[in-house]
Amino acid sequence: LAKTTQPISMDSYEGQEVNITCSHNNIATNDYITWYQQFPSQGPRFIIQGYKTKVTNEVASLFIPADRKSSTLSLPRVSLSDTAVYYCLVGDDPNAGNNRKLIWGLGTSLAVNP
């Protein structure tokens, strides 16, 4: 059964780069690794996803090593509005004998300070 592990919380300051790593083993070999952002009293919102190597969009970058056992969400030059909870999401490995399902991390609460 796939399992994800990410830090419970992180602190940062405005203008810094923040890297949040999610460890995930036994994930589906053909599925994306996806990251979400959640503000209080809202549903999670898709940020970025990738399959391998590096992906960059206007919000973040995502680094995935060749073994896909972890992924790192990178937020460049954070601002106060980036204070949120960040979740990683992976697919379970169907070859592990389980029905394929989506596995969520417990979330990393990022606090950006002035």
Binding site for another protein (CB under 8 A): 31-34, 36, 41-46, 49, 87, 89-91, 101-102, 104-107
Rounded to whole angstroms, how far apart are CA atoms 107 and 10?
A: 11
Nearer to another protein, 16 or 83 (CB): 83
Helix (H, G, I), strand (E, B) or coil at 74: strand
CA angle 71, 68, 5 (to 5 degrees): 50
CB of 7 to another protein, least distance (A): 13
CB of 43 to another protein, least distance (A): 3
Handedness of CA 84, 30, 91, 70 (dihedral sign): negative
CB of 44 to another protein, least distance (A): 5
Nearer to another protein, 7 or 44 (CB): 44
